[in-house]
Every structure is written in structure tokens, then in C-alpha cells.
Structure 1
């Protein structure tokens, strides 16, 4: 607590703002880590098995395996299977609905990442701004002292001025690193969902084609 008070007194309002940024960044990081861990830690094995059952034609078992609505990929697979069972819907309508649902999931995964991006950009600039203000104050004090300048006072003023840059970088670097990792996770999830949808529709087309070939053969017999 004493060190925080020291930072606030030395850095002034700029450090106070940067500390508020750090609280927001840590909160967002914790929320997204929990969300992404929940997505990645559940259902991946079931998703793989569900896709294998879809390709083998066992949609009922695939639907059971893809029942985890908290996993975006599982939800898209289950939603696709249910929509494909509705004969009154065209393939274009089904694809449009699945695309809409996939975009909603990606938007949910990417929510709040903009906050980290802004903090990563603004925090070092704000720290630099605080340093410039501190240096101005230090040199004004030096000019006012004239020939009686105390080097210790000057160095103390410069130290306090540089403190805001250090705090700004300390806030920005973790925010930037986590934001980059989170964005990579969202991109990978989007690519996986796109691949899942492609496999589902390919399997559906192959099964329909197989049924169409069997139909005339049975009729001819």
C-alpha cells in the first residue's frame, strides 16, 4: 500500500490513470482466460468424434456428442445437423443461418479485446506524456533556482518524471502480449469452425449423392 501511495505521489494523476488502466487490463485478461479455457478445455475430443460420425453417416450419435452448447464448435455442429434435418430449408438458407451463428460466436470470443488493444497503445503514450510534463516541471524548478541549483533535487525530479514512462510500459507490454495471444486464439477457432462447417456440408452432399444413386438402382430391380 505504501509503495502504491509513493507511486501516486511521485507520478501524479498520470500514474493514477495508468494504475486504473492496469486494473481494467487485469480484469479483462482474467475474464478472457476463463472464457478461452472453458472453450478449449471442454469438448474437443467429442467434436472430433462427432465429425467422424457425421462423415460415416451416423448423425444421431454425432448430435449427442456435439451437445455442449458452451463450446462454439460443438454448438455450430449441432445447429448444422438440426438445420439439415429440415427439408423445407434450402441449402443457402441453412448456410446463411450457420454463418450468422458462427459470426455471433466469434464476436463473443473477440469481445473486450478492443479494450486491451487500446490500453496497449495508449498506456505508453500516456506515460511519455507524464514524463514530458515532469521534465518541464523539473527544468522550471532548475530555472527558478538559478545558480543555486541542487543536483539532488534535479535528479529527483527527473526520476519522478521517468516513473510515468516505466509504469506506462509495464501496463502496455502485458496487455499487448495477451491481446495478441487472444486474437490468435479467436482466429484459430474461426478457422476450425469454418473447417467443421465445410466437412459437414461435404459429408451431407456425399450422402445425398449416394442415396440418389441407390434410388434408381432399387427402382430398376
Structure 2
């Protein structure tokens, strides 16, 4: 425990900031994974619902998509309700676009924060590197230029530690943000495809 505290202390306050950012990024990644785990679910159920809609069994088709947890299910459930009520044309398209954008905004929540952590963590590590080297040269100056490795070791250790810590925080955050963003993009494509399939089924009943 004492060794861990000594290691932490040698990196200065920057290590504390990076540790906090690491915990925050891990918490965000876990929260977003849980939030996005169902965003592409229910494809087979929606396909069956669209077939029922085409055949004229609109009530049952609506019930099937309303049971789904995915954004595509919520969007198509609204579209089915609107179509059943005679709400069609550009006004419906605009409302579906608005609702789709709201779903996307909710899915993208906190992704920018994760990207920000991935961006600033290496910069904080670089700052620690610079401060560590400044400390080393200050110690060298106080030693009146004596070439003593022990004089320089503390500052160099801090420089290396903060650089490594910054990269260790940034890499998982960047990977997490990239993978989560890709999943959100696929969910957006699923919503678009689901609404398009519903409109096609509505225009070609009984086929």
C-alpha cells in the first residue's frame, strides 16, 4: 500500500486527475454498453410485423413492435399508429425525422464526454512529462551541474509515469467511444430501414 501511494505521489496531482478520468471513462463505457445493448434487437419480429401489416392485420402488427425495446420498434410503432389514423405524407416524414433525431441524441449522450477524455488524457500525460523534466533540470541546477543520476531520477520517473498513465486512460476511452459510435450508427441505419420497410408494406397491401 505504501509503495502504491509513493508511486501515485511521484506523479503529482496529474496522476490523481488521470485516475479520476479513468474511473469516469470506465463508468461511462459500462453505462453506455448497458443502454445500447438492445438498440439493434428485434429485426425478425419487425419483419413479421411488416408482413402482418401488409396483409391487413394492423392491430397485431402494432402490438408486435410495441413490445420491442429498440429505437426502431418505438419509431415504427408510432409510424403504424399514425398511418392507421390517416396521418401520412410530408408531415409524417417530418415527425418521424424529429423522433429519429431524438432517439439518436439519446443514444449519443455522453459519447462526446468519452471522446473528450480520450483527447485530453494524453495531453495531461504530456503536461506531466514537461513538469517532470522541469523538476529534473531544477534539481540539476541546485546540484550545480553535478552529473548525478539520482538527482535526475525523480523528475524522469514522474515524466515517464504520467505519460504512460495518460495513454492508459486515453486508449480504452478512444476504443470505447469508437465502438459505441459505430453501434449507434448501425442503430440509426436500422431505424431508417425499419421505417422504409413499413412504408413499402403500407403502399403494397396484400402483396
Q: Is the 8 A contact 1:14 1:126 kept in 2?
A: yes
Distance 1:20 1:10 in 2: 17
Deviates more, 1:189-198 or 1:67-76: 67-76
Q: How does 1:131-150 map to 2 (within 5 A)?
A: 131-150=129-148
**In the alignment, what sits opposite 1:76?**
75
Gaps of 5+ in 2: none
**In the alignment, what sits opposite 2:19?**
19
Distance 1:138 1:159 in 2: 10
Match status 1:66 vs 2:43: no
Match status 1:106 vs 2:108: no
**In the alignment, what sits opposite 2:52?**
53
Partner of 2:143, secondary structure, is helix
Q: Say which structure, 1 or 2, has more relative contact order (CA 8 Å, 6+ apart).
A: 2
Distance 1:95 1:183 in 2: 25
CA deviation string 1:19-60 (max 9, x = no partner): 1111110111110011111434x5343223223333444322
Partner of 1:66, secondary structure, is helix
Give TM-score, length-normalised by structure 1: 0.86
**In the alignment, what sits opposite 2:124?**
126
**In the alignment, what sits opposite 1:215?**
none
**In the alignment, what sits opposite 2:149?**
151
Distance 2:78 2:2 in 1: 55
Q: Is the 8 A contact 2:82 2:88 kept in 1?
A: no
| RMSD, matched Cα | 2.0
Find the structure with the greater CA-based Rg: 1
Distance 2:146 2:98 in 1: 71
Give the Å deviation of 1:85: 1.1
CA deviation string 1:47-90 (max 9, x = no partner): 23223333444322211210136321111111110000112x34
Q: Is the 8 A contact 1:7 1:15 kept in 2?
A: no
Q: Is the 8 A contact 1:43 1:68 kept in 2?
A: no
Partner of 1:146, secondary structure, is coil
CA deviation string 1:141-163 (max 9, x = no partner): 01210254421231232012111
